Structure 1
Amino acid sequence: MMNENNGPRKRLLALDTSTAVLGVAVTEDGRLLHEINASGERNHSVHLLPIIEQALQASGTEASMLGGVAVGLGPGSYTGTRIAVTAAKTLAWAWKVPVVGISSLHALAWGGYAAIQEKQAAAAAEQAARTEGFGPDWIIPLLDARRGQVYTGLFTSCGLRAPQRLEPDAIRLMADWVMYLSDRLKQAEAEGSRPRSVWFVGETALHGSGDSLRPLLGAADVHAEPYELEGRWAALLGEERLLEGSGGDDIHGLIPNYTQLTEAEANLRRSSEGSASKV
Structure 2
Amino acid sequence: MTNHNKEPRKRFLALDTSTATLGVAVTEDGNILHEINASGERNHSVHLLPIIEEALRASGTTAAMLGGISVGVGPGSYTGTRIAVTAAKTLAWAWKVPVAGISSLHALAWGGLSMGLANPEGSLPVTETGGDGPDWIIPLMDARRGQVYTALFAAAGEEQAPVRLVSDGIRLMTDWVQQLAERLEQASAQGARPRVLWFVGETAQHGSAESLRPLLELGSFRTVPYELEGRWTGLLGEKQLQAGSDDLHSLIPNYTQLSEAEANLRRSSEGSLKPQ
CA 1:137–1:93: 2 relative to 1, 3 Å: same
2-structure distance, mates of 1:4, 1:106: 39
Residue 91 (structure 1) aligns with: 91
Cα deviation digits, residues 189-208 of structure 1 (max 9, x gap): 00111101000000101111
Could you tell me how far 1:275 is from its partner in structure 2?
4.1
| Contact 1:70 1:235 survives alignment (8 Å) | yes
2-structure distance, mates of 1:276, 1:250: 37
| Contact 2:139 2:200 survives alignment (8 Å) | yes
Q: Normalization by structure 1: what TM-score?
A: 0.92
Residue 119 (structure 1) aligns with: 119
Residue 125 (structure 2) aligns with: none
1-structure distance, mates of 2:31, 2:129: 29
Is the aligned partner of 1:176 residue 2:175? Answer: yes
CA 1:46–1:4: 2 relative to 1, 3 Å: farther
CA 1:131–1:210: 2 relative to 1, 3 Å: closer
Could you tell me how far 1:4 is from its partner in structure 2?
5.2
Cα deviation digits, residues 212-247 of structure 1 (max 9, x gap): 111111100011110110000000100110121xx3
Give the SS at the match of 2:154: strand
Letter in 2 for 1:153: A
Could you tell me how far 1:5 is from its partner in structure 2?
2.4
Residue 107 (structure 1) aligns with: 107
Count of aligned residue pairs for this structure pair: 267
Cα deviation digits, residues 147-202 of structure 1 (max 9, x gap): 11100000000022000000010010001100110111001000111101000000
Cα deviation digits, residues 69-111 of structure 1 (max 9, x gap): 0000011111110000000000000000001000000000001
Could you tell me how far 1:134 is from its partner in structure 2?
1.5
| Contact 1:4 1:64 survives alignment (8 Å) | no
Listed as ranges, the gaps of 5+ residues in structure 1 are 122-129
What's the RMSD between the two structures over aligned residues? 1.9
| Contact 2:10 2:66 survives alignment (8 Å) | yes
Higher helix share: 1
Is the aligned partner of 1:261 residue 2:258? Answer: yes
Residue 270 (structure 1) aligns with: 267
Could you tell me how far 1:273 is from its partner in structure 2?
3.1
State, as a whole percentage, how many aligned pairs show the same letter: 72
Cα deviation digits, residues 54-82 of structure 1 (max 9, x gap): 00000000000001000000111111100
Residue 24 (structure 1) aligns with: 24
Give the SS at the match of 2:148: strand
CA 1:44–1:141: 2 relative to 1, 3 Å: same
CA 1:60–1:248: 2 relative to 1, 3 Å: same
Residue 154 (structure 2) aligns with: 156
1-structure distance, mates of 2:222, 2:58: 37
Could you tell me how far 1:131 is from its partner in structure 2?
12
CA 1:4–1:60: 2 relative to 1, 3 Å: farther
Letter in 2 for 1:239: E
| Contact 1:71 1:99 survives alignment (8 Å) | yes
Give the SS at the match of 2:210: helix
Letter in 2 for 1:78: Y
1-structure distance, mates of 2:7, 2:251: 29
CA 1:242–1:131: 2 relative to 1, 3 Å: farther
Residue 124 (structure 2) aligns with: none
2-structure distance, mates of 1:278, 1:132: 58
Is the aligned partner of 1:46 residue 2:43? Answer: no
Could you tell me how far 1:142 is from its partner in structure 2?
0.4
Letter in 2 for 1:190: A
| Contact 2:148 2:171 survives alignment (8 Å) | yes
Listed as ranges, the gaps of 5+ residues in structure 2 are 122-127
